[in-house]
Amino acid sequence: MEFFVSIIAMALMVIGAFGIIFMRKPLDKVIMFSILDAGFVLVIVLFKYLDVAMFAALAGPLSTLVFILAIVKIKEIRKNKIVSGDAE
């Protein structure tokens, strides 16, 4: 059973990593980061570091929220540059 869970965890991390590399849209990258984070937390649990897993499970959604806020802010800055004519 533990073997199948470790295969699933590795698959999640690989899919998330390749998704981050090859996806073009920033929100798709955030989704792939969440998939990678789920696999990472699962690996931490498999190694029985439950205190670290608890911290990673709490920090994961917060980092995803920060990424989404950064994406929104960057889009806003780019839109303002295009409107003002400062775009290159």
Token digits of residue 85: 């004519």
What mean pLDDT comes out for the span 76-83? 88
- CATH code given to domain 2-84: 1.10.287
CA dist 27 and 56 (Å) reads 21
- Return d(Cα 46, Cα 80) in angstroms, integer: 47
Q: How far is CA 6 from CA 9, 39, 57, 64, in A?
A: 5, 9, 18, 24
User: What is the residue extent of each domain of the chain?
Assistant: 2-84
Q: What percent of the chain has pLDDT over 90?
A: 76
Can you give the pLDDT at residue 86? 73
Cα 42–Cα 63–Cα 48 angle in degrees, nearest 5? 25
Per-residue pLDDT reduced to its tens digit, 37-54:
999 999 999 999 999 999
